[in-house]
Amino acid sequence: MWDALEIAQARNFVEELPDGLQSAVARGGTNFSGGQRQRLAIARAVIRRPEIYLFDDSFSALDLTTDARLRAALKPVTREATVVIVAQRVSTIRDADVIVVLDDGGVVGRGTHEELVDTCETYREIVESQLTAEEAA
């Protein structure tokens, strides 16, 4: 369990809880922040080691540093699994093998970050709105 919490970047705040792993979680996790709830949910998934991970906006409440550390820690654990990440933040998905860009419910682009910057106007606009020129390259 501690290993999964470490991967999910949740170990520190769980260790600081008065009852540690035995601490109660309120209905809906309301006694935790949004980012803490997301990290606890990720830890629960990591413990199971599924063949498919679906992270649906699971990184949105995390700061960029925690997001990056969490994704780096997930890589060795998910190496043999299929990972689907639904996200609006380019930095969360830019290293994906395949990015699918949706607009109004339809697919408007598919490829790597570099391919989409060159070929997909919608993706390029999103990148330009979120990243500096240096980060976008």
Q: Are 32 and 68 in the same domain?
A: yes
Dihedrals φ, ψ of 129, to 5°?
A: -80, -20
Condensed to tens digits (0 to 9), the pLDDT of residues 20-34 reads 999 999 999 999 999
For residue 128, the model assigns a pLDDT of 92
Give DSSP secondary structure letters for 34-93. HHHHHHHHHHHHHHH--SEEEEESTTTTS-HHHHHHHHHHHHHHHTTSEEEEE-S-HHHH
CA dist 21 and 15 (Å) reads 7
Q: Are 67 and 94 in the same domain?
A: no
Condensed to tens digits (0 to 9), the pLDDT of residues 54-82 reads 999 999 999 999 999 999 999 999 999 99
Residue with tokens 């520190």: 12
Q: Is the pLDDT assigned to residue 46 strictly greater than 90? A: yes
Q: Are 111 and 64 in the same domain?
A: no
Asked which of 47, 69, 87 is the last residue of a domain, the reply is 87
Q: Are 29 and 77 in the same domain?
A: yes
Condensed to tens digits (0 to 9), the pLDDT of residues 79-122 reads 999 999 999 999 999 999 999 999 999 999 999 999 999 999 99
Count how many domains the chain has.
2
CA dist 116 and 24 (Å) reads 44
Q: Are 1 and 61 in the same domain?
A: yes
Q: Are 59 and 115 in the same domain?
A: no
Q: Are 38 and 78 in the same domain?
A: yes
Structural domain of residue 42, as residue ranges? 1-87
Distances (CA, A) of 7 to 2, 11, 78, 113, 136: 9, 8, 11, 25, 27
Q: Are 3 and 69 in the same domain?
A: yes
Q: Are 81 and 101 in the same domain?
A: no
CB 87, CB 96: distance < 8 Å: no
Q: Is the pLDDT assigned to residue 136 strictly greater than 70? A: no
Q: Are 83 and 128 in the same domain?
A: no
If you average pLDDT over every residue of the chain, what do you get? Answer: 94
Q: Are 50 and 62 in the same domain?
A: yes
Model confidence, pTM: 0.85
Q: Are 5 and 42 in the same domain?
A: yes
